[in-house]
Structure 1
């Protein structure tokens, strides 16, 4: 049995056991899970190793590239700016960023960027990994290109572009870079160990990554038949060794290069679950949070090619695609390989999970949903009710 460190309420023993089992069998290499209910961490655990040789254990302060769970923090930054009156979620992006109006984008609204419906899921120009790490270049390219479909009519997952787009907005309305805004206005007030990129002093505690299995042949064939999907996920390709290098770690990639662990993601994102305030630190109002849950699109995503339901900035429950996530006042997003940040306002539970062995699937995998199911089963026992 693999040793699991940290603390866990006895009611959530199944979550702890599942993490131990997954590390023991090799399903996991290293991972952390945090579950906050009513403002208290009922689970804050970690286990496993940071390297494939299993020579170094995952520690309490181990951090990892969080991939697209970074979007949950980046998009919260936009909501905080909106709450301060600096952004109108229904306002035109070009109001804040005049160059953005080029090539038929003058009517794209802020909410379209946050809900993956702006038509900018991919760069038109062929981009290298170095190019996307050059924020001035990446934002300028998006500002001048035409949308790939009629904005607001459908979603197309903004896999990497969303970070550049939100960076472009945040810098213009706050006078701070997105990286600086997250550090100074979100992470620091909450004491959360989360950052875009990773400072060089923190590199020794950044976990390595094990690659996900290759996409099934039928998935690759489907993507090849849909240019939006293919361009979204392959322009550019992002090798894991690049992600572990200095160019990536020094960059501001709000969609994909946040570094943290389950505890730090939970600390920030529980603001959504708890009405905007965490331990006396208020990030935004309940009225602003309510806007997250306003459905924007529900249908086949033009990039992922599966049905997805989006609010503003986050996914919303959709049983036919994500049966493990209950219906209700819940928002969430996943990261490449299976990580997850989930905020449930009905039960006041925030669930976060990050790991270093990347699993299959665009939106979670059996590992992810095993933890989610165990968490909800425990919550049902703790609160004497049911959401499933």
Structure 2
């Protein structure tokens, strides 16, 4: 039986119960969950193993790749520059990145990038391995593309391209990478265990990600997001589509699951390039951990990511009015890439089917999920900063409910309905 370590305020005993149950039910390998309430730590739990092969235990300071939880951190770096007058999010990207105007993108704004409205969810040419640590080179590939849809008319999750696009804008106006800004102006000064681009010593003690249910994805991207029969499955074949969740053709849940079967779907193409699977160990490879891709490269402890939201909510990173405006819903509804509804402010997710939030936080929560199940969440109204990190990746397209159950226990402990 897994021993859970750490501390939990008695008011949040139900959180400890949920965390324990996940291990008892076999849903976890190693995991951590942390909560700050009005700036004070009330939950800091961890348990299990950081590496299922070696048996190395998950410690209080074990970091792990948090995938798309990174996007909110990257958005915060951009907003810091906006507060200083270095970046106008309503202005065309081409004002700071002239090469971006190619392909009819002269009017695409920074806001379009932050809200997944740019129409650039896919890198059309496969990124070679030698470019994995050359973010400007990858960004230049995107600069040469034409949008898939008219920017500003729809939104669709830019799973990997979000980071190369926003990251290049940040580099053009500041001369720094997202990782450098996070290290020198956010995580470093605030003492957060959070890195966008992990130093060697951090990468060496990071938890190793492991697959959950062993399902062969429709694409060979190694994303862990597929739930299909394999790359040759025909999504129009009745046998391939049988048993998918949802109400059948036209239903968003059904269409999302169906797209996961199709290696050529926009969803799988968005998740599969740069092709992380070509690196030994995929997301565990040191190249990925140190590259600091601004869409999915944050390595953090749950305590560090929760502290990031604690400090955001307290106004220690951005001014209160900046955060209030940034968390205002800019887009809300069907996602062109994921099919189901998603909702975004300026880089921050708002409650929706892609950011499941307990009823008590539906109007006030913001943050970002990460592939496999990780979560970072802030709530200014309720004084919350929380994060969940783990290494047993969820296998289903819809992710898992582990983070939601923990968040529900937090809000329930506050007696927020």
TM-score normalised to structure 2 length: 0.85
Distance in 2 between residues matched to 1:56 and 1:307, nearest whole Å: 39
Residue 352 (structure 2) aligns with: 318
Residue 133 (structure 1) aligns with: 133
Which of 226, 230, 245 is the matching residue for 2:285?
245
Residue 270 of structure 1, CA deviation:
2.0
- Indicate how the Cα distance of structure 1 residues 365 and 53 shifts in structure 2: closer, same or farther if over 3 A, else same: same
1:236-279, CA deviations, whole angstroms, 9 ceiling, x for partnerless residues? 443370322232223130111111111111122223322x22xx
Q: Secondary structure of 2:395's match?
A: coil
Distance in 1 between residues matched to 2:122 and 2:30, nearest whole Å: 31
Q: How does 1:188-337 map to 2 (within 5 A)?
A: 188-213=188-213, 214=215, 215-217=226-228, 218=241, 219=256, 221-223=258-260, 224=262, 227-239=265-277, 241-274=281-314, 276-277=315-316, 283-318=317-352, 322=356, 324=358, 326-337=361-372
Distance in 2 between residues matched to 1:38 and 1:265, nearest whole Å: 16
Residue 353 (structure 1) aligns with: 388
Residue 80 (structure 1) aligns with: 80
Distance in 2 between residues matched to 1:319 and 1:178, nearest whole Å: 28
Distance in 1 between residues matched to 2:399 and 2:9, nearest whole Å: 25
Residue 340 (structure 1) aligns with: 375
2:201 is the counterpart of 1:161: no
Contact 2:66–2:299 (Cα < 8 Å) also in 1? yes
Contact 2:68–2:371 (Cα < 8 Å) also in 1? yes
Query: Bigger CA drift: 2-11 or 362-371?
Result: 362-371
Distance in 2 between residues matched to 1:127 and 1:94, nearest whole Å: 23
Q: RMSD between aligned alpha carbons?
A: 2.1
Residue 194 of structure 1, CA deviation:
1.0
Distance in 1 between residues matched to 2:166 and 2:129, nearest whole Å: 19
Distance in 1 between residues matched to 2:322 and 2:355, nearest whole Å: 27
Distance in 2 between residues matched to 1:221 and 1:123, nearest whole Å: 22
Q: Which runs of 5+ in 2 are unaligned?
A: 216-225, 229-240, 242-255
Contact 2:348–2:366 (Cα < 8 Å) also in 1? yes
Q: How does 1:135-154 map to 2 (within 5 A)?
A: 135-154=135-154
Contact 2:307–2:386 (Cα < 8 Å) also in 1? no
Residue 54 of structure 1, CA deviation:
6.8
Distance in 2 between residues matched to 1:154 and 1:8, nearest whole Å: 43
Contact 2:357–2:407 (Cα < 8 Å) also in 1? no
Residue 105 of structure 1, CA deviation:
0.9
Contact 1:66–1:335 (Cα < 8 Å) also in 2? yes
Q: Which runs of 5+ in 1 are unaligned?
A: 278-282, 381-385
Residue 25 of structure 1, CA deviation:
3.1
Q: How does 1:116-131 map to 2 (within 5 A)?
A: 116-128=116-128, 130-131=130-131
2:65 is the counterpart of 1:65: yes
Residue 62 of structure 1, CA deviation:
0.6
Residue 280 (structure 1) aligns with: none
1:267-307, CA deviations, whole angstroms, 9 ceiling, x for partnerless residues? 22223322x22xxxxx2211111122222211211111111
Distance in 1 between residues matched to 2:89 and 2:362, nearest whole Å: 25
Q: Secondary structure of 2:332's match?
A: strand
